[in-house]
Each structure stands twice: as C-alpha cells, then as structure tokens.
Amino acid sequence: VELRDKNNNASVVSSRAALLQRDGDVVDLDGSSPVTMASGDDQYYVAVRHRNHLGVMTQNALALSGTATSVNFTSAGQATYGSNARKSVTGAFPAQVLWAGNVVVDDQVKYTGTGNDRDLILQAIGGVVPTNTAAGYLGADVDLNGQVKYTGSDNDRDIILQNIGGVVPTNTRVEQLP
C-alpha cells in the first residue's frame, strides 16, 4: 500500500507491505487488522500494488487521518487514476480487480517480445517440457492458486493473453500509475 503526495501523485510519501486477500480486502500482515500507515493527517492518493499484478491508484487525493478509512478498489464506483486501470469480472461476485500477469514486475503485462511475462512462466516450470508444473509462492503463479502451469486447463499463460485483449498477442496492458 502506498500513500502519495497530494500535490505530486508520482511521489510516494509512505508505503508498507500488507496482505491482499482473495476477496479484495487489504489487511495488515496478521491477516485481520486494518492497515496503518506512518503518515500525518492530510490528503493522499492511495495506491495498491501486488507482486504480479498491475497497481491501481485513486483518481483523487483522499483525506486520511487516525480514523480508519476504507478505499474499495473492487467497486466500480471507486474512481481510479488513468484509463482502464482495473479489470471488470462478472459472475456470482462481480467486481473490479487488478490486472494479473505482471510476472516480470515492470509496469506492463506483455505476452510476446523482449521482456514478456509469458516466458517467465515457462522458465518457472523448468523451461523445456511445457506440461510440467511448479508449486509454491512463485511470481509466475498468475492466478494465485499455488501452481504454475504453462499449458492445459487453468494455466497461467492464458491469463496474460486474455488481459492484453485476447486476440493480438503483441498488445500490452500498461499499469496506470504515474
């Protein structure tokens, strides 16, 4: 979680690690407490980054104080900086979510070309046999299920292709942070 300067949203004033849960809640590392930041009462842009997803930030600076403030990035009503900063998911639990697939940990999701995110998935499973899998807390685990898969059903590679538009593999999805 980052707090950014109200006059310069590219300037990070305070940041700290937190736990992003499956339901979209961001909590302290104990898994339940609210996230507290070391900053004074003021207005800040609030940004959330994740290890292999594109980050998101509020469109406007928000007044923050010692009282808990909720910022619901899963809600379509929460205005965000940039254009198309979140992915809309439908179904039983419709929500706005972070764009997955930033395996390289730069500022974009990229399927082909130099520095693409797809190749790191193949490397994570050994780099030779595309049907291999790897288990663990790995950056190449795009769907966050504890398994890295390059081919087959529910693989991590297809999520990257879908998140860049699904048709033109040379497209990219760029993070909407200054």
pTM above 0.85, yes or no: yes
pLDDT in tens, 8-61: 999 999 999 999 998 889 999 999 999 999 899 999 999 999 999 999 999 999
Residue 95 contacts residue 87 (beta carbons within 8 Å):
no
Chain-centroid distance, C-alpha 157: 16
Query: Residue 53's pLDDT is what?
Result: 98
Listing DSSP states for 61-114 in one string gives: -EEE-SS-----TTSTTS-BSSSS-SEEE-SSS-EEEPPB--TT-SSEEESSST
pLDDT in tens, 123-167: 999 999 999 999 999 999 999 999 999 999 999 999 999 999 999
Query: Residue 55's pLDDT is what?
Result: 98
Query: Residue 23's pLDDT is what?
Result: 87
The structure tokens 């207005």 sit at: 43
